[in-house]
Amino acid sequence: MIVSDVFAGKTYAVLGLARSGLATVETLLASGARVVAWDSQETAREAAIALGRSYRAKSRDDRAELGFSTSLETNGILEIGDPMEIDLTGFDGIVVSPGVPLNRHPITMRAKIAGVPIIGDIELFALARPTLPPHKVVGITGTNGKSTTTALIHHIIEQAGYPTTMGGNIGLPVLGQPPLEPNLQGVGVYVLELSSYQIDLTYSLDCDVAVLLNITPDHLDRYNGFEGYVASKLRLFDMMKPPHVGVLNWHTEFGQKLYHQLADQHDYQIWTNYSDDVDDPYELWGAFDENGQTTARDHLSTQKDWPALKGPHNAENAIASILACSALGIAEVDISEALKTYASLPHRMQAVATRNGVLYVNDSKATNAASTAPALAAWPAKDGKPRIHWILGGVAKSDNLDECAPHFGNVAHAYTIGEAGHMFADLLRGSMAVDDSEMLSAAVRRAARIAQPGDVVLLSPACASFDQFRDFEARGEAFAAAVAALD
């Protein structure tokens, strides 16, 4: 874990004791801070209490025997207490889970009255950075594609031989991971996926490379309209200082507007794939000239060489990753080879099986129409014959599939499931054949009976999962199990 004397002798409240909350408690205790921790779940409080007992050792020898840092003279102290009920005067910060809705939760007003900042674990990492071994940070945000791009950048850096780890909104909490030590190749690189909620709780994260993938309306219950959501994302760039690099990689008119806005407001470089005379992002592949504009480069491989990066959305994710890793100084030949060996994350355009010549793809993470649309574009009709057997439905985030409509011609048959199944079945009839299957397992069986060799059975639900499944992971696992059970 990360330990820093910047926290020694300070007092923090930690609200929310899930995985990142417990990692935060452990870092602060190991760093010699006083921690008041709280969670509404008794089991979570008990886990924190058990952690606190480990830090009651009174001597450096005891701490060494327990496996904790002995570089600090001060032992951390843990107390259990609800920050809504205790006096917060004098606290150095209230560390909250990103899931806490600051626009509605009463902790916001209590903290304001007490004059205590509300922060997240990413801000603690930012504060600890000056005490860590030399390193760099890549921060990735956007509405869609964050996890794939984060994992891809991490993979490229790792394949290039640099020490690296990924955290934030993916993998293990960054505070719970050991500090990166430089090697002969160079300094370590922390690759952080950052949601708007995490950025809201961060004030001093100066990324060496900040990546903005896209912005479409989302989480508007937490913000003052779409403009508030956009402003949250752009704060990642506002915290950055020269000579660091911003990466912006999409072609829409809105993306171009943001590029000029960022370039006008900040002194650091903004690298982009935007070009006035190139319309097709597939021609770009993220190479850039001295002005930060992308140009075609023959010695970079192309998407046909990247088996785990199909579809236009993954083209954009790859472009962002190429730009980010180039900004880190990684050679293009290393980037090119790493793109070929990247394996997709579970539940994100994940090929789970090929049976009787039919490819089965788990894209359960696609929980809105905007994230499903690129999946439908990934397998265009061949010889005029649509190839996709599309399984969709669940808890709808809207009453339409407008973003998906341009790609309906690629769909041979749709199979609707879950709470939104009937609505989407009615909406899609007239554009394609539809089976209102209701259950995921039934949809898989029916698709398997109809699909022909060369076709694709695609779970890309365009909906949340909570009507029938615990989360999108459980839904994706159920899909893979249903495929495995086919005769």
CB 368 within 8 A of CB 397: yes
468 is a domain residue? yes
Task: Name the residue with higher pLDDT: 254 or 469.
Answer: 469
Last residue of a domain, one of 98, 119, 140: 119
What would the pLDDT profile of 339-366 be if each residue is shown by its tens digit? 999 998 889 899 999 999 999 999 999 9
What would the pLDDT profile of 213-263 be if each residue is shown by its tens digit? 988 877 777 888 899 999 999 999 999 999 999 998 776 778 888 888 888
Tokens describing residue 393: 């439905």
Q: Which of 31-40, 86-95, 140-149, 266-275 has the lowest mean pLDDT?
A: 266-275
pLDDT reading at 67 higher than 70: no
Res 70: pLDDT: 41
Res 294: pLDDT: 41
124 is a domain residue? no
Domain shared by 262 and 195, yes or no: yes
CATH number at residue 430: 3.90.190.20
Last residue of a domain, one of 289, 322, 341: 341
Res 28: pLDDT: 95
Q: What is the DSSP letter of 293?
A: B
Domain shared by 284 and 152, yes or no: yes
Q: Which domain holds residue 302?
A: 132-341
Give phi and psi for 251, each to the nearest 5.
-95, -5
Average pLDDT, the chain: 88
CB 214 within 8 A of CB 272: no
CB 414 within 8 A of CB 433: yes
CATH number at residue 289: 3.40.1190.10
126 is a domain residue? no
Domain shared by 191 and 245, yes or no: yes
337 is a domain residue? yes
What would the pLDDT profile of 193-214 be if each residue is shown by its tens digit? 999 999 999 999 999 999 999 8
Domain tally, the chain: 3
Catalytic residues, which ones?
146, 169, 219
Strands, E, within 207-348: which ranges?
209-212, 245-248, 269-272
Domain shared by 373 and 331, yes or no: no
Tell me the pairing of strands 350-355 and 358-362: antiparallel
125 is a domain residue? no
252 is a domain residue? yes
Give the integer Cα–Cα distance in Å for 353 and 204. 45
Measured on CA atoms in the order 141, 142, 147, 148, is the torsion positive or negative?
negative
Give phi and psi for 435, each to the nearest 5.
-120, 115
End-to-end CA distance of the chain: 47
127 is a domain residue? no
What would the pLDDT profile of 4-26 be if each residue is shown by its tens digit? 999 999 999 999 999 999 999 99
The mean pLDDT value for 73-88 works out to: 82
User: Could you tell me what percent of the chain has a pLDDT over 70?
Assistant: 90
266 is a domain residue? yes
Q: Cα–Cα–Cα angle for 425, 430, 431, nearest 5°?
A: 85
Domain shared by 227 and 274, yes or no: yes
Give the integer Cα–Cα distance in Å for 329 and 324. 9
Maximal CA-CA distance, the chain: 75
Domain shared by 308 and 428, yes or no: no
CATH number at residue 57: 3.40.50.720
CB count in 10 Å sphere of residue 454:
13
Output b/e per residue, 169-203; b: 16+ Cβ within 10 A: bbbebbbbbebbeeeeebbbbbbbbbbbbbbbbbb
Domain shared by 246 and 335, yes or no: yes
Strand partners, 129: none
Specify the 3-state DSSP secondary structure of 381: coil
CB 206 within 8 A of CB 243: no
Last residue of a domain, one of 316, 341, 366: 341
Domain shared by 220 and 294, yes or no: yes
Domain shared by 58 and 141, yes or no: no
Residues contacting residue 404 through CB under 8 Å, at least 6 positions apart: 369, 372, 373, 376, 462
Domain shared by 271 and 386, yes or no: no
User: Could you tell me what percent of the chain has a pLDDT over 90?
Assistant: 68
Give the integer Cα–Cα distance in Å for 142 and 180. 26
Domain shared by 149 and 176, yes or no: yes
Residues contacting residue 199 through CB under 8 Å, at least 6 positions apart: 122, 141, 232, 233, 235, 236
What would the pLDDT profile of 136-182 be if each residue is shown by its tens digit? 999 999 988 899 999 999 999 999 999 999 999 998 999 999 999 99
Regarding pTM above 0.85, the answer is no
Res 257: pLDDT: 85
Domain shared by 260 and 112, yes or no: no
CB 223 within 8 A of CB 229: yes
